[in-house]
Amino acid sequence: MPDIFARLAALPVWQRFALLSLLGVVGGLGQAPFDLWPATIIALAILLQVHTVAPTARRATLDVWCFGLGYFGFTLHWIVEPFLVDIARHGWMAPFALVLMAGGAALFWALAGWLARRVAPGGAMFFGLMLVWAELTRALILTGFPWALLGHIWVPTPLAQLAAFGGPHLLSLITILAAWALTTLWHRRLVPGPIVIVVLGGVAGVLGSGPTPELRSDGPLVRIVQPNAPQHLKWDPAYRDVFLNRLLDLTGQGAVPDLVVWPETAVPSLLNYVQSDLSLLEGAARGAPLVFGIQRLDAAGAFYNSMVVMGPGGVIRDIYDKRHLVPFGEYIPGARQIEKLGLPGLAGLVGTGFTPGTQGDPLMIPGIGLAVPLICYEGIFAEEIVTGPTRPRLMVLITNDAWFGQAAGPHQHLAQARLRAIEQGLPMVRAANTGISAMIDAKGRIVDQVSLGVAGAIDVPLPLALPATPYARRGEWPFVGVLILLTFGFYAGGRRFGN
């Protein structure tokens, strides 16, 4: 087996580029909606070996970047969908967006490959640990983009429950451990790789056989409404009443629930001018609290992407403004500097974006309790969830994944929502404009859902909240401490254990 990796390293640059990029695509099969986690483990194991036999640090860096380009190009291919909403104006930018996004994300992995060769050449596990550091950095730097993390491949498996102890990056470390263990089998080592495999299998078995949290059929009944408004029609004035009436009809059917949740920007008006619509919303909710997404304007002229809690009588009980905005999608990075420079074609865009909210405390939903509010993009940032001093009852995530069409994006976004539920030990109500809307229990399991691309509503009893998890109490610091210890340990013994 090692001879094969040496031959791969000796191939001409373009052949090696193509093969490693293809290998990265194979690695991406572990992400939703494919969920073929063994493919990711095998692909990473091969990458660890290719990295150790590369003749130079420069070659090793390029090899890792090629792998990352294939991995991110495949897992993030949905990024082209927003540019196809108005294809005549923006379609030409789609391939550039994908290449820049994939190539930029791959740079984090390439830097990890370079550092590993400079610091501890020949240490496969040390390189793997550098990849975990790269994933952690990618999740935080430049506002962060923790999408398609290596640890996300475990979401459909029992090992996902370990996120309650160390978050998504602990799962990334487990991914690397599994890949490294596989490399030791190729080298016919009896220890420690096989021990890692046995331990991970045992942990998965124990976690998979644990008790199922009680669903409480007598708990609060939540109605999650999905209007299925395609993005290219969502803001068309001719369709405004069509989609709003669909929301009202789906909300007003059947028995009165204890809570109704609509998606992000469900109401196509500014909150400042929606008084006439509030009576319609209150009539459809029939006294039940209604959580919905809407945009609003403050006295200073700043726009916000907001979540509103409306109580009986159409009274606005609470408002949350989205804090973590999407760069270039909801605001222009460096807007103030651009405005000062007065650059033609850009200065005029500065005032068209949203303003980030400043308050992140849970909202109080009448009859239900405290709810952690999350709007779309915010659901991918595990470390930014604020639960406050009093334990919340649930998380509410509203989103408009219509931007991502029918591609992998909505499935990957849902997988991350499941992980947030596990990390916090809280059920999540997820309302999406075109899907996938779902009730997720505190173990990250989907209790019920509305499929992608259909209009509908589901009534689901709210699952129980579990006691605060170690991750909810302490965050990522304990895991970071373990990662530091492992890094120094494998740095000291990299040559001994790496090959």
The tokens describing 239, both together, are 């369709």
- Using the CB atoms, write b or e for 254-265: b if 16+ within 10 Å: eeebbbbbbbbb
Q: Do 64 and 51 meet the contact criterion of CB atoms below 8 Å apart?
A: yes
How far is Cα of residue 62 from the mean position of the Cα atoms in its chain? 27
- Using the CB atoms, write b or e for 410-422: b if 16+ within 10 Å: bbbbbbbbbbbbb
The tokens describing 326, both together, are 């999407």
Round to whole Å and give the CA distance between 285 and 263: 15
**322 is an active site residue:** yes
Contacts of 94 (CB under 8 A, 6+ apart): 80, 83, 84
Round to whole Å and give the CA distance between 386 and 32: 26
66, 81, 282, 376: the catalytic one is 376
Q: Give the helix/strand (H/E) hosting 175.
A: helix 163-186
Q: Count how many Cα atoms sit within 13 Å of the Cα of residue 208 in the half-sphere of its side chain.
A: 12
**Residue 217 exposed, middle or buried by CB count within 10 Å (0-12, 13-18, 19+):** exposed
Q: Do 274 and 297 meet the contact criterion of CB atoms below 8 Å apart?
A: no
Contacts of 339 (CB under 8 A, 6+ apart): 347, 350
**264 is an active site residue:** yes
Phi, psi at 308, each rounded to 5°: -120, 140
The tokens describing 447, both together, are 């209790």
66, 322, 378, 443: the catalytic one is 322
What's the CA dihedral at 312, 316, 318, 322 to 10 degrees? 130
81, 135, 234, 264: the catalytic one is 264
Round to whole Å and give the CA distance between 94 and 92: 6
**340 is an active site residue:** no
The tokens describing 116, both together, are 């590993």
Q: Do 228 and 435 meet the contact criterion of CB atoms below 8 Å apart?
A: yes
Helices (H) and strands (E) in the chain — how many of each?
A: 17, 12
Q: Give the helix/strand (H/E) hosting 128.
A: helix 124-140
Peptide bond into 192 cis (omega under 30): yes
Round to whole Å and give the CA distance between 251 and 239: 18
Contacts of 108 (CB under 8 A, 6+ apart): 68, 134, 135, 137, 138
Q: Do 43 and 69 meet the contact criterion of CB atoms below 8 Å apart?
A: no
Q: What is the largest CA-CA distance in the chain?
A: 74
Supply the residues annotated as catalytic: 264, 322, 376
